[in-house]
Chains A and B, each alone.
Chain A
Amino acid sequence: MSLNYLTPEFKVIRDYDLCINCKVCMRQCANEVHSYDEQLYKMVADDFKCVNCQRCVVMCPTHALTIINHPQDFRQHANWSYDTIRDIYRQAETGAVLLTAMGNDKPYPIYWDKMVVNASQVTNPSIDPLREPMELRVYIGRKPDKIELDENLNVKTQMPPQLKLEVPILFSAMSYGSISYNAHASLSRAAEKLGICYNTGEGGLHKDFRKYGKNTIVQVASGRFGVNREYLNTAAAVEIKIGQGAKPGIGGHLPGEKVSEDVSETRMIPVGSDAISPAPHHDIYSIEDLSQLIFSLKEATDYKKPVGVKIAAVNNVAAIASGIARAGADYIAIDGFRGGTGAAPKRIRDNVGIPIEFAIASVDSRLRSEGIRHTVSLIASGSIRNSADIIKAIALGADAVYIGSAALIALGCHMCQKCNTGKCNWGIATQDPYLVKRLNPEIGYKRLVNLVTAWGHEIKEMLGGMGINDIESLKGNRLMLRGIGMTQKELDILGILAAGE
Chain B
Amino acid sequence: MLKEGQVRIPSGCAISGMMDQTGAVFTGQKIADSIATMHDRSNGLGGGFASYGIYPEFKDHYAFHIFYNDLQSRQETEEYLKANFVVAFEEKIPTRKIPQITNAPLIYRYFALPKLEKLNDTELTDDDFIVKFVFDVNIKIKGAYIFSSGKNMGVFKAVGYPEDVAEFFKLESYSGYIWTAHGRFPTNTPGWWGGAHPFNLLNISVVHNGELSSYDTNRKYLEEFGYVCTLQTDTEVVAYIFDLLLRKQKLPINLVCKVIASPLWDQIDRMSPKEKALYSSLKIIYSKALLNGPFSIIVTFEDGFVAINDRIKLRPLTAAQNGDMIYVASEESAIREVCKNPEKIWIPRGGEPVVAKLKQTNTNEIYESKEVTA
Interface residues of A (CB under 8 A from B): 120, 122-125, 127, 132-133, 135, 137, 139, 143-144, 146-147, 149, 153-155, 157, 159, 162, 368, 371-374, 466-470, 472-480, 501
Contacts and interface: CB of A to CB of B under 8 A. Distances in A.
B217 interface: yes
B294 A124 contact: yes
Nearest to B226: A371
Given A125-B294, A146-B249, A469-B311, A157 B285 contact: yes
B288 A374 contact: yes
5 contacts: A123-B11, A124-B210, A124-B293, A468-B293, A473-B288
Contacts of A477: 213-217
Contacts of A501: 2
Contact of B251 (A125, A147, A368, A466): A147
B80 interface: no
A466 B293 CA distance: 9
Q: Which 10 A-B pairs have the closest CB atoms?
A: A473-B214, A473-B292, A472-B287, A123-B10, A467-B213, A124-B211, A479-B216, A477-B216, A477-B217, A371-B224
Contacts, number: 118
A468 B213 contact: yes
Nearest to A127: B312
Interface stretch (B63-71, B95-103, B143-151, B275-283): B275-283
Contacts of B11: 123
B55 interface: no
A371 B294 contact: no
A123 B312 contact: no
B187 interface: yes
Interface string B284-311: 1111101011100000000000000001
B224 A368 contact: yes
A373 B213 contact: no
A39 B299 CA distance: 89
B314 interface: yes
Contacts of A468: 213-214, 292-293
Given A135-B265, A473-B292, A476-B217, A124 B10 contact: yes
B281 A476 contact: no
Contact of B223 (A159, A368, A480): A368
Given A470-B287, A477-B213, 15 more contacts: A127-B312, A132-B312, A149-B251, A153-B252, A153-B255, A155-B277, A467-B213, A468-B213, A468-B214, A468-B293, A475-B288, A476-B216, A478-B216, A479-B216, A480-B216
Max chain A Cβ within 10 angstroms of own Cβ: one of B224, B265, B277, B290: B224
A472 B213 CA distance: 11
Contacts of B187: 122-123
A469 B284 contact: no
B220 A368 contact: yes
Interface in B184-215: 187, 210-211, 213-215
B285 A479 contact: no
Interface string B71-85: 000000000000000
Contacts of B266: 133
A144 B284 CA distance: 9
A340 to B, nearest CB: 30
Interface of B: 2, 8, 10-12, 187, 210-211, 213-218, 220-221, 223-226, 249, 251-252, 255, 262, 264-266, 274, 277-278, 281-282, 284-288, 290, 292-294, 311-312, 314
A133 B314 CA distance: 13
A149 to B, nearest CB: 8
Contacts of B311: 133, 469
Nearest to A138: B287
Max chain B Cβ within 10 angstroms of own Cβ: one of A124, A146, A480: A124
Contact of B213 (A154, A371, A473): A473
A155 B281 contact: yes
Given A135-B265, A468-B214, A374 B294 contact: no
A155 B223 CA distance: 26
A475 to B, nearest CB: 5
B274 A154 contact: yes
Contact of B12 (A123, A157, A478): A123
A447 to B, nearest CB: 27
A472 B292 CA distance: 9
Contacts of B223: 368
Contacts of B225: 371
A132 B292 CA distance: 13
Contacts of B224: 368, 371-374
Contacts of A124: 10, 210-211, 213, 293-294
A275 to B, nearest CB: 38
B314 A125 contact: yes
B374 to A, nearest CB: 22
